[in-house]
Amino acid sequence: MTEFNMQKLRELCADFIELDDTALTRLSKYGNLLLEWNEKINLTAITDPDEVLIKHFYDCLLFLKKVDVPQGAKVIDVGTGAGFPGMVLAIARPDIKLCLLDSLNKRVNFLCEVLRELGLSAEAVHLRAEEGARKAEYREQYDIACARAVAALPTLAEYCLPYVKEGGSFIAMKGPAAAEELKAAYTALKTLGGDKGTLAEEKLPDGSERCFVFVKKISQTPTKYPRQSAKIAKQPL
């Protein structure tokens, strides 16, 4: 059993969210499952417990510092991978109605195991992002679509904005090049029904930058989007 310094995490987050003992216990279990499964399948390159605490858990919890997530909001984490940020958000805010979407079945199996072990209720779905966004049960059904470090913003917007209902938000967690990506995504955001987007920055304790890109959904996404993944990659909007 790996020991995580949960008191340190509680103190780091104290100015924006109170992490109770249940949340901290669940995060510790999640961290242990992550490291255990990582020996069998590739989930993360970050395996040091202190780095998992900061670069995964704290980084994802910053979402709740920057984003006002309404009680009971419907949130989809597109290309969730090992569950970042979605699983961490669900642990801190179990009221969220969460969908974890990923294209690799082995990662979805891991997420299902985590949900069972933690006693959390969320949907883990094995689908490619562009496939899910064309299904009626997912298209324009969410208050928030989020993604962390999945693709360049023009591409990511085409994968994520179709999931967002009018009045909802697409939120991308990005690195220090976020401002340049946002400029490059202007046409894509406009085409897909988003506004021009805004940025907010945070720093992790190690000094690295985390940028949040906020895009409000102001009109429906045209039915032709998202396109097939090969076309999205070859001809970004």
What's the whole-number mean pLDDT along residues 163-192? 96
User: Tens of pLDDT along 29-66?
Assistant: 999 999 999 999 999 999 999 999 999 999 999 999 99
> Which amino acid is residue 23, in one-letter code?
A
Which pLDDT value is given to residue 124?
98
Residue 85 above 80 pLDDT?
yes
Choice among 6-15, 106-115, 148-157 with the minimum mean pLDDT: 148-157
Choice among 91-95, 132-136, 146-150, 184-188 with the minimum mean pLDDT: 146-150
CB hemisphere CA count around 153 (13 angstroms): 31
Residue 23 above 90 pLDDT?
yes
Residue 133 CA to chain centroid, in angstroms? 16
Other beta carbons less than 10 A from residue 64's beta carbon: 18
Residue 219 CA to chain centroid, in angstroms? 22
Prediction pTM value: 0.96
User: Edge-to-edge strand order for the sheet containing 209-216?
Assistant: 123-126, 97-102, 74-78, 142-148, 164-174, 209-216, 198-203
Residue 150 above 90 pLDDT?
no
Residue 135 above 80 pLDDT?
yes
User: Tens of pLDDT along 214-230?
Assistant: 999 999 999 999 999 99
Distance CA 144, CA 163 (A): 8
All structural domains of the chain: 1-68+81-124 (3.40.50.150), 127-237 (3.40.50.150)
> Which amino acid is residue 65, in one-letter code?
K
User: Is the preceding omega at residue 226 within 30 degrees of 0, hence cis?
Assistant: yes
Which pLDDT value is given to residue 174?
96
What's the whole-number mean pLDDT along residues 124-134? 97
Distance CA 179, CA 31 (A): 32
